[in-house]
Amino acid sequence: MVDLPQKLARKLDQRREKNAFRHLPDVNHDLIDFSSNDYLGLARSRALFRAADDFLNKTQSFGNGSTGSRLITGNHPLYVTLEKKFCEFHQSESALIFNSGYDANLGFFASVPQRGDIILYDEYIHASIRDGLSLGQGKAIKFRHNSLDDLKNKLNRERAKILENAVVYVVTESIFSMDGDSPDLKLLVDFCEVNNCYLVVDEAHAVGVFGDKGEGLVQQLNLQKRIFARIVTFGKGVGCHGAVVLTSESLKSYLINFARSFIYTTGLSPHSLATIFMAYDELDKKSKAISQLRKNIEFFKIEAERLNLSSRFINSNSAIHCFLVANIDKAKTFSLKLQEGACDVRAILSPTVPEGQERLRICLHSYNTDEEILKMLRLLSVLVS
């Protein structure tokens, strides 16, 4: 094989020198899962697997692939059925399915903001949103994490420079993937309405966790009619693959015409869409897994407080709880020790998080038992003592 160019090899060496070199982990199903985003256990559900197969048989939706992009031959009937289901479940005027959350964010943010537009985004926003903004024509400006005051200051600073007919977008997440915390969405919506800004909310880590049926934090707060667009990913609480942009019919038409990650990719297979459909059927039944997950979150917080660990955790009411370590070597050591104790807890290192913000990211699930949660917290307590 041809050797790697020296400039690329040097970049790898620099990662190794910082002890931040990434590699694909081994899969060990013997460990207690505190690392996956499968909050409700739907990704591992055999019942869901069988239900998707039954659905394909009943609808005669046979085929291993979609055969092309949705604009050519890939727009099979399950797309129409599923997008209608999303509109009803998420109380949205329209819905457009993308192949992944990354594709949805890339296509949306690369195509929607135009030259002269301003995008104010939370500094902890998903990497896929940043990548989309880097491909777009608007001026992207970050504001301090969950700081409405800094958002106001940044908008006021830009007002004199904003061109006539320019659009201002504000971008946040309802649940942040690395901290598990939330912005004050009610205040943010009020701010955007007063200042004529278009609010976009990524709900990747909220769907399946918040809301009466797991609809997400936006619907739990009854804000869905006051937001320009919501982006929902299925690879977390929904337990499968793909994503949907929930918005107006006119914006859906715009994305179909201008979002390159939608236009120039092969559509999802019938089996992928059937799995999403049946996962949403499970949510629609007010899955018992949702209430059990919430009980587990509450139990975790009570026990972390009892063991004097709470001060090291970022405050979160979600399934994501991050224990700050602030050192690469220590974070990796803690993770290894927890795994040796049969608890699959992963270290999150820079550059995924800022240097000095290294942490253990603990994900809770409906299928974690009280005994498992307590075991993990006790092991962590010993490590920090």
Cα distance between residue 358 and residue 117, in whole Å: 34
pTM (2 d.p.): 0.93
Domain regions of the chain by residue span:
22-40+287-384, 47-284
Three-class SS of residue 30?
A: coil
Which of 242, 245, 264 lies closest to 69, judged by CA? 264
- Please give the pLDDT value at position 284: 92
The secondary element (H helix, E strand) that includes residue 344 is: strand 343-344
- Please give the pLDDT value at position 63: 85
Report the CATH fold assignment for 47-284. Aspartate Aminotransferase; domain 2 (3.40.640)
Helices assigned H by DSSP within the chain: 6-17, 46-58, 77-89, 101-111, 127-135, 148-159, 185-194, 217-220, 249-258, 260-263, 270-284, 288-306, 328-340, 370-384
Cα distance between residue 82 and residue 79, in whole Å: 5
Q: Which CATH class is domain 22-40+287-384?
A: alpha beta
Rounded to the nearest angstrom, the gap between the alpha carbon of residue 222 and the centroid of all alpha carbons in its chain is 20
For residue 172, give the DSSP letter.
E
Handedness of CA 110, 113, 117, 120 (dihedral sign): negative
Three-class SS of residue 193?
A: helix
DSSP line for 43-91:
GG-HHHHHHHHHHHHHTT---SS--SBTTTT---HHHHHHHHHHHHHTT
pLDDT < 50: residue spans in the chain = none
- Please give the pLDDT value at position 80: 94
- Please give the pLDDT value at position 190: 98
- Please give the pLDDT value at position 22: 85
